[in-house]
Amino acid sequence: MTTALAVDLGSASGRVLAGTLREDGRIDVTDVHRFKHQAQRHHGSLIWDVDTMWDEVVVGLRKAVEQFPDAVSVSVDTWGVDCVPLDAHDERVGEVRAYRDERTQRTLDEFRSRISDREFFALTGIEPATINTANQLVALTIEEPELAERIDTFLYLPDYFAWKLSGVKGWSRSIASTSGLCEPGSPRFSNEVFSRLGLNRDWVGELSDDLTVVGQCTVEGLEMLTVVRGGAHDSACAVHGLPIDEGVRAYFLSCGSWSVLGALEDHPLVSDAAFELGLTNESRTDGGVRPLFNITGMWILQEIQRQWEREGTPTDTDELVAQARECPPSPAYFNPDDPYFAEPGQMQQKIDEAMDKQGAPRPTTKPEYVRLIIESFAQRYARAIDELTAITGVKPDQLNLVGGGARNHLLCDLTAQASGVRVVAGPIEASTLGSLLAQLETLGHLDPRDRPSVIAKTAKTHAHSPASN
């Protein structure tokens, strides 16, 4: 048996997990340590407390090696785009800003004067957005030039923690692909983008492939661990852990409060249609490309439940969904991507108004509202599959649905029915499984060809066929 450790850092919480590869080809996953954190306001800026995050990571890893003395490796994955500037003495330069810090909005016009949105997409394959690392660094040079002058290098968040563990600096391809600083498909950093934006190309080295070794851990008590690039971006890890049989054409849908729909491609998609759709081309752990775009997720359902609870009616999601399954199909749908639904509050009234505009009857019970919401999601996902297929040119054989939405079997059933595509729900924690698989493959404990078999034995999945609805 061999155990690998996964450090999975989200924007509101972090966790350390252990995965033990058994002789029967199954990975047993153990949740070792969890902690909460959040972006904080500091002198008017939105920042991350990376010191607390680091302390909690070390606490979790020490717990893990005590519980699993056979642990051989560790990999860190995080959300995309955010980075840590360092000076020539490896000290942090200023605070570590969060991607929603308002400085990128204040400097957006100047950014666009250097590279237009359409040209930015052509140069990088990334959707123009203020959260991109490129926008963050331009904002830093404009608003805090004295800090920018002190920068010797910057590391993306997972690479920063890998450096803290090993003493080895690097720039992992999967996380760098979120930044807007690489050529389409992220074969390398884009010298032209750095130059056009007025950024110092010497701030970064060359990209490192995922599925490679960073170095040996140098933290006291953790020296037995090899630090691995097991997919530095959480979404890349999730795709690596998907149950997809050889020869099957699959799209993936990561469904939480917000959703991401994507395809698995060998090359980036950078056509005019891809730009209009808001496509962004991020790298996979195995070196391929994940063209994807954002669509609305379970936020609307979560928000109407919060409204009902504020009004004095406790809600149970599983019970509501079960009751919604017994309701007749809704007579009409609403568009979940309408910006009207992105604002919190009074979600039931917003849905009522959307139905009134269509001349359709309003729901009269809570299960009917839930049915309408889930059917509207399913219809939107079906349209999104068609939109992506118009660009890729090949309709998928199946849709791998991961995240919290995978628990909602009514959503999976209705999505399969609306799209005509088989839906495979799960694993819910695909990013953790993907990280563990990548580490075991990198260190030679698992043949990559055996990955589908290990996923099948490990992951809890459920198939939803269009014909069964």
Q: What residues act catalytically?
A: 234
Inter-residue contact 76 to 54 (CB < 8 Å): no
Q: Please name the residues in contact with 132: beta carbons below 8 A apart, sequence gap of 6 or more.
A: 81, 126, 178, 179, 180
Type of residue found at 275: F
Distance CA 36, CA 12 (A): 6
Type of residue found at 392: T
Classified as helix, coil or strand, 156 is: strand
Please give the span between the terminal C-alpha atoms of the chain, in angstroms, as a whole number.
42
Q: Is 387 exposed, middle or buried (0-12, 13-18, 19+ CB in 10 A)?
A: middle
What separation in angstroms does the CA of 39 have from each of 12, 54, 78, 300, 346? 8, 15, 14, 23, 26
Q: Which of 119, 280, 103, 315 is nearest to 186 (CA)?
A: 280
Q: Which of 289, 294, 265, 258 is nearest to 279 (CA)?
A: 294
Six-digit token string for 145: 């030039």
Residue with the two structure tokens 């496509």? 279
- Beta-strand (E) ranges in 189-257? 207-208, 212-216, 226-229, 250-255
Count Cβ atoms below 10 Å from residue 20 Cβ, excluding itself: 17
Distance CA 253, CA 257 (A): 12
Question: In the 8-state DSSP scheme, what is residue 187?
Answer: S
Six-digit token string for 134: 């490129």
Query: Hey, what long-range contacts does 112-115 have (CB within 8 A, 24 or more apart)?
Result: 114/138, 114/196, 114/197, 114/198, 115/193, 115/196, 115/197
- Kind and range of the H or E element at 13? strand 13-21
Inter-residue contact 395 to 432 (CB < 8 Å): no
Q: What are phi and psi of 226, to 5 degrees?
A: -95, 130
Inter-residue contact 285 to 174 (CB < 8 Å): yes
Distance CA 393, CA 269 (A): 11
Distance CA 277, CA 283 (A): 19
